[in-house]
Amino acid sequence: MPRTMLTAVIAVLGLYLAFVALVFLGQSKLLYLPDVAGRSLAATPRAMGLSYEDVHLRTEDGVSLHGWLVSAPVTVRRSMTLLFFHGNAGNISHRLDSIRIFTDLGLDVFIFDYRGYGLSEGSPSEPGTYRDANAAWRWLTGERGLAPGQILLFGRSLGAAVALELATRVEPAGVILESAFTSVPDLGAEIYPFLPVRLLSRYRYDNLGRIASVRAPLLVVHSRGDEIIPFSQGQALFAAASEPKQFLELQGGHNDGFLASGVAYRRGLAEFLAGLGGPGHPATSRPTH
């Protein structure tokens, strides 16, 4: 090999290894994006005409978290509260459209920011998000006095992984996983096929390894048009899940599928809710379109 070519190969290899090192060291900034739209709250549920209360709770390792308990209209209220785990970017104030959908379905909604997000203290981490989920569950079952069967877990994207981990340890009324990945290494390998992601990843969020342990009625929601998390990963999670389970297929992208699907999304959620708590939990594996 000519010296000039060898020098070029070494230079390219050096740049590649430097990039790999940069990705390895900066993983947390790729996964957790609390500052994508600013840490301050852009609005409150009052902007949607909803009543709410500010909630401050403390995790087992002493971190203070902030959230909202949003009330459903009295005319449609069910005796059930949705514990909402949001995705990896922004904060609770960027989820008002989703909150409104759930309150319109008669659910009170408890949504909170993970450590390092919004008005919550600390810095995000995988174990930290699991502790945050524990604190939210304890607040609902302790401070609010709700029975586990009155709590429905909902997680979107990264939040689906946090909700799923909690669902393996508690007994909620049901679990909704929207736009969920099989694991962080699996997703990273899809996004960065030119990197040895499975060797580099310090994060797991192993949804595929956990989902069979969930015994509560399950709804998996995913869009074929999801440009970030492949539809096939949602299908793989559904296939690995235990009964009773349902699959709701959406249209639209990763961040707007629930809005783009409109009535079909709301109808699918309503059908799932209607099946909770009945004899034998009649939610089935029949896809909902």
Q: Give the catalytic positions in this structure.
A: 157, 226, 254
Task: Name the strands in the sheet holding 52-58, side by side, starting at the edge strand that comes first in the sequence.
Answer: 52-58, 64-70, 108-112, 81-85, 151-156, 174-178, 218-223, 245-250
Q: What is the DSSP letter of 244?
A: S
Question: Rounded distance, CA 66 to CA 76, Å?
Answer: 27
Question: Rounded distance, CA 253 to CA 234, Å?
Answer: 14
Residues β-bridged to residue 52: 70
What is the residue whose two structure tokens read 């609010």?
A: 144
The b/e string for 220-232 (b: 16+ C-beta within 10 A; e otherwise) is bbbbeebeebbee
Residues β-bridged to residue 178: 156, 221
The b/e string for 158-169 (b: 16+ C-beta within 10 A; e otherwise) is bbbbbbbbbbee
Tokens read off for 73: 């209209």
Check if the beta carbon of residue 190 is closer than 8 Å to that of residue 212.
Answer: no
